[in-house]
């Protein structure tokens, strides 16, 4: 039998989730106690009697209409996401173009005059001001827009609602923020934020209203509930991936990997549709922008360029080499995550005021510019400029005429272009020293950058680090033996290195393989990429979790993984459940309900409804009770007023998703004595399990059905306890067997 | 409220499922009553107390070992499936090469001599003898190997066990049969059978033993239960798709579309691994065979060739044209399915003896050869032979020197090559009349061929028909206006036509899009292919179901679709369940159990176990009871014998999957009086639902958890009924609302 070792509770920096809430002691008892803002847990589903009745009344035609609306919404999501990606791409390209042109002219002017420090200062100031703008927006106006947004979307799709994560304001800040950070020359990418952007678009479009704009279009009201909204958000996330990488299938698999519970064919098909439309829209508008209308061959914000099979073919005996590189990627990824973990903890403790966060971001921007400048300045890697060169801003510096500085192609460029040139530039474009130094500096810069209060992704920096050391491996291999020089194409090894490094940091598997396959447009690389990602994951997992998982854990979110821990079969529902559980009677006194809801120690979201003696007859949600209280659906009142307005499903939908807190509802002393009949509003057939059900079975039920509350009953159908997401998220497979975590009270 | 209209029962031709069983009146009361062989329903899961205890005892290391074995098995599955695909491909290529060479030489010799009828006879005889060989194998030795096997695999993954479908003998017959039918020049493909072959390989490898070979390797014993086996079979099916089309991602999606219930990340990842290995193996061995070792750029048995984006780009205004072609494909597909449906019914009634089946197959082969010969003979479509022509067997016939007969490139070729030449041959290779005539004749030939007693797939014929009329559309478009001739590339329209026709016949959506995308190697065609497939499905579904679904329905299999019918919310478990249900006591008399199992009118597979008064305490399966009876685990006997062998999980596993029938177990009159304690062997925590649960909720639970039996209890936890797969499969959304089907008693 496994031992349950008790571990100290994680506490967390939850301002990213920014909602008002209670206070809690901080990590390791730091005296600078900061408020832990409340993270909303669990989805609420209006699966009550009213809803079931509505569904029963619906005709076949009505179902058809709903289905058609779903398709229309998914098409819209794809279209808008594609447009946003297109907007970001064009703005970044324009601004970065201007910036690099100005700096290049300045450098060219001062190279001979000898006043290169002026160029450095110009570069640093330009970068810092862009980053400052982005950081101010994020830190002061919408902290949730920081980072790539992927951990937040993962949580959302997993079933944990994080306040403000899918709001219009977040989207605006995210889009402007990512433009600023990319143009500001940070070691970041614009791909991760696209996933978040797609999700926000989806949440907005599917609800047919916007709270930020205070507009309700009175459409799609049926979709105003968590399960439907979640389905659309997964379509939005897929559309985002698809726009970012030109990988519609990869997008679908990303959504499934992160969000799916029960595989629903129609839903998957719709998600695929949204992804396709998104890639297509981006493609189409970019082709118009590039004056090549109709040329749809270069999808996605990042495109790895075409890997020609003949030139880039691999041999069977290279596969072990690739796997060794995968292992190296796993190691470096674990190191990256380890450093970032401690950096994040440092930030939670000491860098939590918005102005400090902005200052840190500006510092990083200036340091990045300075490091890049110094590296370029001291680089001696001069390469002849080919007549058909693809470098957009070749820097001559101290090289001879007709040559350019090779370090500058890596640093003096947007990261996307640098990745592509590492993949495709011919042999001899970079020398080994340049690549080694670049890897080293960029690794630490990227690690420092992730977690700053700017909106930015980690995909592209990871790819860039990996491509650099991968290319280095290729060069070293080619130099070892004479035969190796024929097959050790540095571009090929750059691709494998990029996959290894990215896999080692984010630890995605299936979807990442497909994304890489689609971005390279080469199916034959599927197997090596897959093996590399697997190796990287296995090696990396041995030391440290994936970057996103680390950040999710730091938020103390009750994230449910795919399966119950392997050795948990001996645990049963009896041990796992929360007990005793507060039950309501079918006809309950208003005062009792108000007291229960106001009691902060019982912050359950669902309450079993029982008939005496304790026999289960339904389940009602906190949010439903609040709507009932707000509309004063009390039995005594109903008798006294003749024209009592009957509560309808619409009332629940209008209140969704921001139900008022119990404190805002005033209930008079008289009203407290009234009764409430819950029969009509509760879910009459909640899922139940017997006491002896094993944890893996409970877990499977939870995940497969997307449950939020599972009532545990004895063999007389009496309520014995309630299993919630948090009860399941506690168990965790550590190095010494099963461990029980104490999740912070949220 | 929807009306339930009662429909007459389908009866079925079940010899394809060939197991012994009861008789049943036939379709429309034909007097030629034929035995309806019993179709095994439902998976059996050894999820009993013993199993749970084993899992509880297992250490973390043991779980790791299991996980590693799963990966090893998946790798093996992929490898073997790739090898089989390679074998089929090489043998077909060699044999077809010899055949076409012989015939061509004969034609060349006799064209001038004027004795072409001798060539015709030679062709017809060669084809017929190959087909006869294939048909004899299938009809006499393993009828289940007929057809593509996709309907059977769909059923298997859906949860319906069909006897002998995953046996070694079936695999051997399938492989030899498909070689014979393809070489025999039938309008068939070798891709469908690959899926079945992959599944058989998976079922064999994962069990670590073969009944046909009477070998038990004593490995992988843990996987000897239905859920595990099914997971491996889905990996095998994916590997098959992957080998057939060079589409590893498409293979994974095919498996998910057909088989997945709960999305399991590790499982999907393993399926992907099997697919990758399979494509890679095929690729590698084919590259060795073609003396281009290491060139892995042409994966799959069928490869559509590379669609260069610049030449084949499409414009926004072509999309409506594509969708119109999709609609046409849907119409033609529905016509195909309609004709095939009636043909199948005709075959069920009149062509059921093996020798008749062989004769029909031979007839079809002869007619195919004759029609092809006549078409080529009367064709006047002479095309100049380019110096770098790709035709392997260009027929000159009555064309001038340096020209060849264009009809012959379509007919005098393996279908795979014909498809590729329709996609890629330059403009003007075919004239419109040739394509029109070819479409017409091939359509009817393919329709006649599908359902013959030979093992063969319908993918390639569908693609070929569609490519032919698609190319025709392209030619017609180009001739209408002068501007259209610039963009209306016939190869592009051939691709769209092929997608439309295939979509119209098989009605797969997600996986087919991805398969087509991977086979063309062009992500930009994703959106048009998707829209075409959607249109084809919508139009086709209006008239007729998909071909596979028709064949599944004709077998009267209780196939569960993804979701409950849309308007079934008003139905509850109370109405759906089978009731009254036979329950067993926890300690039950042996005689009672034997009587219940022997009673053919209660052929349930699972029995609720109760304690008085009717309170549910477990569920036990027929197969478990049979093992218990076989080992005589009786309470009185146990007392009398001191060295009683305790029944172990191994005994259940050894009996799996072919549990003996109850008739073969002898129980003496004394033993009938003994008691059996079921506590240790039953599943102690079966899933239950209350009486008022709506049908969609029951359905979702069934599908998401892969259930076979769901106990319906009242609010006192007393057993009220049992919902089985058949109870759910009855409800069906027809044109007039919800319909209840009477599934044949099987």
Q: Identify whether A466 is part of a domain.
A: no
pLDDT tens readout for residues B506-557:
998 888 999 988 888 777 788 899 999 999 999 999 998 899 989 988 887 7
Contacts of A84 (CB under 8 A, 6+ apart): A171, A175, A194, A197, A198, A201, A243
What pLDDT score does B163 carry? 79
In this structure, are strands A615-621 and A709-713 parallel, antiparallel, or unpaired? unpaired
With an 8 Å Cβ cutoff, are A685 and B694 in contact? yes
Rounded percentage of chain B residues whose pLDDT exceeds 90? 29
With an 8 Å Cβ cutoff, are B310 and A294 in contact? no
Q: Which of A63, A260, A737 sits opposite B263 (nearest CB)?
A: A260
Q: Which of A273, A309, A715 sits opposite B717 (nearest CB)?
A: A715
Q: Which of A279, A313, A563 sits opposite B294 (nearest CB)?
A: A313
With an 8 Å Cβ cutoff, are B313 and A299 in contact? no
Q: Which of B288, B284, B282, B187 is nearest to B240 (CA)?
A: B282
Average pLDDT (A156-166) is 83
In this structure, are strands A5-6 and A737-740 parallel, antiparallel, or unpaired? parallel
B425: three-class secondary structure by DSSP? coil
Query: Which residues on chain A are in Cβ contact (under 8 Å) with B609?
Result: none
Q: Identify whether A458 is part of a domain.
A: no
What pLDDT score does B262 carry? 65
| Preceding omega of A677 cis (within 30 degrees of 0) | no
Using an 8 Å Cβ cutoff, are B66 and B51 in contact?
Answer: no
Average pLDDT (B437-453) is 92
Place of tokens 């359902």: B451
Lowest mean pLDDT among A663-672, A681-690, B298-307, B704-713: B298-307
Query: Which residues on chain B are in Cβ contact (under 8 Å) with A717?
Result: 713, 715-717
Q: Which of A449, A511, A546, A32 is nearest to A271 (CA)?
A: A511
Number of Cβ within a 10 Å radius of residue B600: 9
With an 8 Å Cβ cutoff, are B562 and A2 in contact? no
Using an 8 Å Cβ cutoff, are B144 and B16 in contact?
Answer: yes
Using an 8 Å Cβ cutoff, are B243 and B301 in contact?
Answer: yes
Average pLDDT (A332-355) is 92
Query: Which residues on chain B are in Cβ contact (under 8 Å) with A253?
Result: 249
- Per-residue tokens: B603: 């052929």
Q: Based on the number of CB atoms within 10 Å of its own CB, is B669 exposed (0-12), middle (13-18) or buried (19 or more)? A: exposed
Using an 8 Å Cβ cutoff, are B247 and B515 in contact?
Answer: yes
B722: three-class secondary structure by DSSP? strand
What pLDDT score does A391 carry? 60
Contacts of B476 (CB under 8 A, 6+ apart): B432
Contacts of A405 (CB under 8 A, 6+ apart): A376, A379, A381, A382, A383, A394, A395, A396, A397, A398, A399
Distance CA B170, CA A194 (A): 50
A-B contacts (CB, under 8 Å)? 200
pLDDT tens readout for residues B165-209:
888 999 999 999 999 999 998 989 888 899 999 999 999 888 887
- Indicate whether B428 pLDDT > 80: no
What pLDDT score does A147 carry? 87
Indicate the Cα dihedral angle B463, B466, B470, B473, nearest 10°. 170
- Indicate whether B104 pLDDT > 90: no
Indicate the Cα dihedral angle A492, A497, A499, A501, nearest 10°. -170
Q: Please give, rounded to a whole number of angstroms, the shortest distance from the CA of B671 to a CA of chain A.
A: 32
What pLDDT score does B45 carry? 52
pLDDT tens readout for residues B27-43:
333 333 333 333 444 44
- Indicate whether A441 pLDDT > 90: yes
Indicate the Cα dihedral angle B728, B733, B738, B744, nearest 10°. -50
What pLDDT score does A737 carry? 66
The vertex-A613 CA angle with A612 and A615, nearest 5°, equals: 85
Query: Which residues on chain A are in Cβ contact (under 8 Å) with B284?
Result: 316
Q: Identify whether A589 is part of a domain.
A: yes
Lowest mean pLDDT among A22-26, A683-687, B44-48, B714-718: A22-26
Q: Which of A234, A256, A289 is the last residue of a domain?
A: A289
What pLDDT score does B236 carry? 95
Q: What is the DSSP letter of A727?
A: H
Contacts of A615 (CB under 8 A, 6+ apart): A716, A717, A718, A719, B715
Contacts of B363 (CB under 8 A, 6+ apart): none
Q: Go through A236-259 and write b for each residue having 16 or more CB atoms within 10 A of its CB, e for each that does not.
A: bbbbbbbbbbbbbbbbbbbbbbbb
Q: What is the DSSP letter of A457?
A: B
Query: Which residues on chain B are in Cβ contact (under 8 Å) with A690?
Result: 685
Rounded percentage of chain A residues whose pLDDT exceeds 90? 29
Per the structure, the complete domain to which residue A705 belongs is given by 573-740
Using an 8 Å Cβ cutoff, are A541 and A507 in contact?
Answer: yes
> Which residues, in sequence order, are bridge partners of residue A675?
A589
Average pLDDT (B576-596) is 87
Q: Identify whether B174 is part of a domain.
A: no
Instruction: Tell me, rounded to whole angstroms, the distance of Cα B479 from its chain centroid.
Output: 41
What pLDDT score does B676 carry? 84
Higher pLDDT, B341 or B352: B341
C-alpha distances in Å from residue A225, one per residue of A48, A51, A173, A597: 12, 11, 26, 21
Q: Which of A265, A289, A313 is the last residue of a domain?
A: A289
- Indicate whether A310 pLDDT > 70: no
Query: Which residues on chain B are in Cβ contact (under 8 Å) with A310?
Result: 295, 297
Positive/negative CA dihedral, A597, A603, A605, A608: negative
- Indicate whether A438 pLDDT > 80: yes
Distance CA B72, CA B79 (A): 10
With an 8 Å Cβ cutoff, are A262 and B257 in contact? no
Binned at pLDDT 50, 70 and 90, residue B663 comes out as confident
Higher pLDDT, A154 or A704: A154
Instruction: Tell me, rounded to whole angstroms, the distance of Cα A264 from its chain centroid.
Output: 22
- Indicate whether A675 pLDDT > 70: yes
Q: Identify whether A200 is part of a domain.
A: yes
Q: Please give, rounded to a whole number of angstroms, the shortest distance from the CA of A698 to a CA of chain B.
A: 10
Give the total number of structural domains in chain B.
1
What pLDDT score does A379 carry? 78
Distance CA B139, CA A217 (A): 64
In this structure, are strands A709-713 and A688-690 parallel, antiparallel, or unpaired? parallel
Average pLDDT (A302-314) is 68
Q: What is the ipTM of this complex?
A: 0.88
Lowest mean pLDDT among B87-101, B155-169, B250-264, B615-629: B250-264
Q: Which of A258, A289, A320 is the last residue of a domain?
A: A289
Q: Please give, rounded to a whole number of angstroms, the shortest distance from the CA of B631 to a CA of chain A.
A: 28
Distance CA A565, CA A728 (A): 10
Query: Which residues on chain B are in Cβ contact (under 8 Å) with A689?
Result: 685, 687
Q: Which of B249, B315, B524 sits opposite A514 (nearest CB)?
A: B249
* CATH number of the domain where residue B709 is located: 3.10.580.10
- Indicate whether B475 pLDDT > 60: yes
Contacts of A49 (CB under 8 A, 6+ apart): A679, A680, A681, A682, A683, A684
Q: Identify whether A204 is part of a domain.
A: yes
Distance CA A534, CA A57 (A): 50
Q: Which of A192, A390, A172 is nearest to A302 (CA)?
A: A192
Average pLDDT (A648-664) is 76
Q: Which of B313, B510, B690 sits opposite A294 (nearest CB)?
A: B313
With an 8 Å Cβ cutoff, are B685 and A688 in contact? no
With an 8 Å Cβ cutoff, are B299 and A530 in contact? no
Higher pLDDT, B655 or B92: B92
Distance CA B668, CA A289 (A): 87
Q: Identify whether A653 is part of a domain.
A: yes
What pLDDT score does B110 carry? 77
Q: Which of A304, A269, A299, A306 is nearest to A82 (CA)?
A: A299
Using an 8 Å Cβ cutoff, are B200 and B167 in contact?
Answer: yes
Distance CA B611, CA B64 (A): 39
Q: Identify whether B139 is part of a domain.
A: no
Q: Please give, rounded to a whole number of angstroms, the shortest distance from the CA of A720 to a CA of chain B.
A: 14
Binned at pLDDT 50, 70 and 90, residue A485 comes out as low
- Per-residue tokens: B403: 């020209």
Query: Which residues on chain B are in Cβ contact (under 8 Å) with A697?
Result: 685
A587: three-class secondary structure by DSSP? strand
- Indicate whether B745 pLDDT > 70: no
| Chain B residue at shortest CA distance from A275 | B527
Distance CA A540, CA A505 (A): 8
Distance CA A536, CA A141 (A): 38
| Chain B residue at shortest CA distance from A522 | B521
Lowest mean pLDDT among B101-115, B632-646, B656-670, B727-741: B632-646
With an 8 Å Cβ cutoff, are B567 and A737 in contact? no
Query: Which residues on chain B are in Cβ contact (under 8 Å) with A70?
Result: none
Average pLDDT (B84-97) is 92
Place of tokens 């939020």: A708
Indicate the Cα dihedral angle A211, A217, A219, A222, nearest 10°. 30
Using an 8 Å Cβ cutoff, are B141 and B165 in contact?
Answer: no
With an 8 Å Cβ cutoff, are B272 and A566 in contact? no
| Chain B residue at shortest CA distance from A691 | B685
* CATH number of the domain where residue A85 is located: 1.10.3080.10
């Amino acid at each position: 039998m496994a031992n349950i070792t008790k571990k100290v509770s994680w506490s967390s920096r939850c301002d990213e989730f920014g909602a008002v809430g209670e206070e809690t002691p901080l990590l390791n008892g730091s005296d600078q106690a900061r408020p832990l803002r409340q993270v909303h847990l669990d989805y609420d589903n209006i699966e009550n009697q009213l809803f079931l009745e509505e569904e029963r009344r619906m005709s076949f035609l009505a179902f058809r209409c709903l289905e058609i609306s779903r398709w229309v919404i998914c098409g819209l999501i794809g279209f808008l996401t594609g447009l946003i990606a297109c907007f970001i791409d064009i703005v970044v390209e324009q601004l970065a173009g201007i910036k690099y042109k100005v700096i290049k002219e300045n450098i060219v002017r001062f190279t001979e005059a000898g006043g290169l420090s002026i160029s450095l200062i110009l570069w640093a100031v330009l970068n810092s001001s862009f980053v400052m703008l982005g950081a101010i927006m994020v830190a002061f106006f919408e902290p949730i827009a920081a980072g790539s947004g992927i951990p937040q979307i993962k949580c959302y799709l997993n079933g944990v609602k994080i306040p403000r994560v899918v709001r219009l304001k977040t989207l605006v800040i995210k889009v402007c923020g990512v433009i600023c950070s990319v143009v500001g020359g940070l070691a970041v990418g614009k791909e991760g934020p696209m996933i978040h952007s797609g999700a926000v678009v989806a949440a907005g479009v599917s609800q047919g209203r916007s709270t930020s704009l205070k507009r309700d279009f009175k459409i799609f009201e049926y979709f105003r509930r968590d399960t439907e909204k979640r389905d659309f958000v997964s379509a939005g996330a897929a559309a985002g991936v698809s726009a970012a990488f030109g990988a519609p299938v990869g997008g679908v698999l990303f959504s499934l990997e992160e969000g799916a519970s029960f595989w629903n064919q129609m839903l998957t098909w719709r998600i695929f549709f949204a992804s396709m439309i998104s890639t297509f829209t981006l493609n189409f508008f970019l082709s118009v922008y590039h004056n090549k209308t109709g040329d749809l061959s270069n999808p996605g914000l990042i495109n790895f360029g075409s890997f020609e099979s003949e030139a880039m073919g691999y041999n069977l005996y290279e596969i072990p080499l690739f796997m060794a590189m995968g292992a190296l990627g796993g190691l470096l990824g674990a190191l990256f995550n380890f450093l970032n973990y401690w950096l994040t903890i440092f930030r939670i403790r000491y860098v939590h005021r918005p102005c400090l966060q902005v200052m840190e971001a500006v510092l990083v921007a200036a340091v990045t510019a300075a490091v890049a400048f110094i590296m370029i300045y001291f680089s001696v890697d001069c390469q002849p400029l080919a007549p058909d060169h693809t470098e957009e801003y070749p820097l001559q510096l101290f090289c001879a005429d007709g040559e350019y500085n090779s370090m500058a192609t890596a640093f003096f460029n947007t990261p996307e272009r640098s990745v592509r040139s590492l993949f495709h530039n011919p042999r001899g474009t970079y020398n080994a020293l340049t690549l080694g130094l670049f890897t080293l500096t960029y690794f630490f810069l990227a690690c420092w950058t992730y977690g700053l209060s700017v909106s930015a992704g980690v995909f592209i920096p990871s790819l860039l680090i990996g491509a650099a050391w991968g290319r280095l491996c290729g060069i070293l291999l080619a130099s070892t033996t004479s035969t190796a020089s024929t097959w050790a194409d540095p571009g090929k090894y750059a691709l494998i290195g990029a996959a290894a490094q990215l896999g080692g940091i984010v630890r995605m598997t299936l979807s990442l393989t497909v994304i890489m396959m689609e971005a390279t447009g080469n199916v034959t690389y599927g197997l090596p990429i897959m093996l590399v990602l697997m190796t990287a994951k296995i090696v990396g997992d041995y030391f440290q979790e994936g970057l996103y998982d680390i950040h999710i854990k730091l938020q103390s979110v009750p994230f449910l993984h795919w399966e119950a821990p392997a050795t948990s079969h001996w645990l049963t529902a009896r041990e796992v459940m929360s007990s005793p559980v507060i039950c309501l009677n079918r006809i309950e006194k208003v005062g009792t309900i108000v007291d229960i809801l106001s009691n902060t120690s019982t912050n359950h979201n669902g309450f079993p409804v029982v008939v005496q003696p304790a026999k289960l007859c339904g389940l009602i949600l906190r949010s439903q009770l609040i709507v009932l209280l707000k509309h004063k659906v009390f039995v005594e009142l109903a008798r006294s007023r003749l024209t009592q307005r009957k509560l309808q499903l619409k009332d629940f939908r209008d209140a969704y998703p921001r139900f008022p807190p119990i404190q805002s509802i005033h209930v008079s002393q008289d009203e407290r004595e009234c009764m409430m009949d819950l029969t009509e509003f509760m879910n009459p057939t909640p899922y139940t399990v017997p006491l002896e059900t094993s944890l893996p079975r409970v877990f499977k039920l939870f995940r497969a059905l997307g449950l939020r509350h599972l009532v545990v009953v004895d063999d007389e159908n009496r309520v014995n306890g309630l299993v919630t997401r948090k009860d399941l998220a506690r168990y965790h497979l550590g190095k010494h067997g099963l461990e029980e975590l104490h999740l912070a009270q949220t």
